[in-house]
Amino acid sequence: MTEGNADYGAMDSEDFRLMVRAWIQEHYPEDKRFIVRRMGMDEIGGWVRALGAKGWLAPSWPREWGGMGLPIRKQIIFMEELSRHGCARFPDQALNLVGPLLMTFGTPEQKARHLHRIARGEEIWCQGYSEPAAGSDLASLQCKAVRDGDSFIVNGEKTWTTLAFCADWIFTLVRTSNAGRKQEGISILLIDLNTPGVTVRPIDSFTGEREFAQVIFDNARVPSENLVGEADRGWDIAKSVLGHERVMVGAPIIPMMALRQLEDLMDRLGTFGDTGALDRYAALRLDLYDLTTMFEEYVRRIEEGESIGGDVSLLKIRATELYAAISEEILLQAGDMARVAEPIALPDNVAFPLEIYAAARVPTIYGGANEVQRNVIARSVLRLPS
């Protein structure tokens, strides 16, 4: 039994904050605090299932689909408390991408089959977009799906697929036609990763962590009922999902957590008394306020059914570059203590200067490299010539 029907939106904000804080303090595992990488279900699955059982796994989702139905201000409070306690990020593509995808474009059967399972933490998803020759130029994808009666036969490869090795399903862009422009003839399929002909091969990241994977399709047979929207018309849906992805990549929770580590490190070192360090810290905190305000606006647009335009790329750029800037200040403050890849003990948590510095480079690439996002802004927002 979950508490998903509770009307948290009607609660006083401070009461809501104290309730969330107390529950996280009691239930979040101490040994998983302030870990900057995204953790797999083998490491963090107990926490995911606890959130699901509580009805708290999907704060922004409508209550009818198992979410908390939180208004944006309470979503920010929820994020702030997760950040305060150093709660690690877990496989969340289903919550941030698949849920909105199915709520908007899915059939009644697809919604009924998947949404409540996702909200309970019973079904984990990954995103099958990038390919070896189709990353930022996603429309060049070649993973092919051919109609065969009431099924599609899928052949091809997806790469850099985050945490695919601990997922149950993958939502995948496939080419169903070669007619017209490259953006045409693309469809979206929901594929059970236990389907015969699907192979998942983990890829180690440059930080030494196992976070990504290859997903190979070799004559994998997928029921046609797993098609989202119309065949050959998936590109516009994909762009909508990319907009949601860039909103979530732009969420302030990771910069919040990094700034918390910076604050604790400066407290330990006594550098708040240094004018230069204090000026740099103040600038980073003001940037975090700006980012949070910008994030609130995009979430409001999503909640009110407004379209997400190319300007969302600015949110992704601001969030990832702020995270990188905070990581650089942590490294600067740590000085000689950061010369080895070992944590620095702090009063309430630990800091990992080198790990944070390395991890902060990755978001500037995934979800569309920041250089590509600047081109998107130049073309679709500023209307500059190519």
Q: Please, which residues bridge with residue 223 across strands?
A: 151
In the chain the first and final C-alpha atoms are separated, in Å, by 55
Q: Which of helix, strand or coil describes residue 56?
A: coil
pTM over 0.85: no
- Residue 99 belongs to a domain: no
Pair 191, 210: CB distance under 8 Å: no
- Residue 85 belongs to a domain: yes
- Residue 62 belongs to a domain: yes
Q: What is the CATH number of the domain that holds 284?
A: 1.20.140.10
Question: What pLDDT score was predicted for residue 321?
Answer: 96
Instruction: Indicate which residue of 81, 123, 131, 245 is catalytic.
Output: 245
Q: How far apart are CA 311 and CA 336, in angstroms?
A: 40
Residues 282 and 369 in one domain: yes
| N residues, the chain | 386
Q: How far apart are CA 277 and CA 275, in angstroms?
A: 6
Amino acid at 21: R
Residues 149 and 84 in one domain: no
The first and second tokens of residue 261, run together, are: 């580590």
Instruction: Choose the weakest-confidence range: 2-6, 143-147, 307-311, 382-386.
Output: 2-6
Non-local CB neighbours of 141 within 8 Å, separated by 6+ positions: 129, 131, 134, 173, 174, 175, 186
Instruction: Choose the weakest-confidence range: 43-52, 208-217, 269-278.
Output: 208-217
Question: For residue 191, is pLDDT > 90?
Answer: yes
pLDDT tens per residue across span 346-381: 666 667 788 888 888 888 887 778 898 899 899 888
Backbone φ and ψ of 339, nearest 5°: -75, -15
Residues 291 and 189 in one domain: no
pLDDT tens per residue across span 307-344: 788 888 899 999 999 999 999 999 999 888 777 666 67
- Residue 19 belongs to a domain: yes
Residue 192 vs residue 184, higher pLDDT: 192
Domain C-terminal end among 207, 233, 259: 233
Pair 294, 250: CB distance under 8 Å: yes
Amino acid at 11: M
Which parts of the chain fold into alpha helices (H)?
Answer: 13-27, 41-54, 72-84, 93, 99-105, 108-119, 234-249, 253-269, 275-303, 312-334, 353-359, 370-376
Number of H helices, E strands in the chain: 12, 10
Question: What pLDDT score was predicted for residue 348?
Answer: 66
Non-local CB neighbours of 325 within 8 Å, separated by 6+ positions: 284, 287
- Residue 101 belongs to a domain: no
- Residue 274 belongs to a domain: yes
Residues 216 and 339 in one domain: no
- Residue 3 belongs to a domain: no
Q: How far apart are CA 295 and CA 138, in angstroms?
A: 25
Pair 54, 78: CB distance under 8 Å: no
pLDDT tens per residue across span 155-179: 999 998 989 999 999 999 999 999 8
Q: What is the CATH number of the domain that holds 44?
A: 1.10.540.10
Q: How far apart are CA 54 and CA 241, in angstroms?
A: 27
Residues 132 and 190 in one domain: yes
Q: Is 245 a catalytic residue?
A: yes
Pair 235, 186: CB distance under 8 Å: yes
Residues 226 and 267 in one domain: no
Task: Please enumerate, as own/partner, the contacts of 330-334 that have beta carbons within 8 Å and a separation of 24 or more.
Answer: 330/258, 330/261, 330/262, 330/265, 330/356, 330/357, 331/356, 331/357, 333/262, 333/265, 333/266, 333/269, 333/271, 333/277, 334/265
Residues 76 and 140 in one domain: no
Q: How many domains does the chain have?
A: 3
Q: Tell me the mean pLDDT in the region 181-201.
A: 95
Containing domain of residue 158, as a range? Answer: 125-233
Residues 275 and 367 in one domain: yes
Residues 330 and 257 in one domain: yes
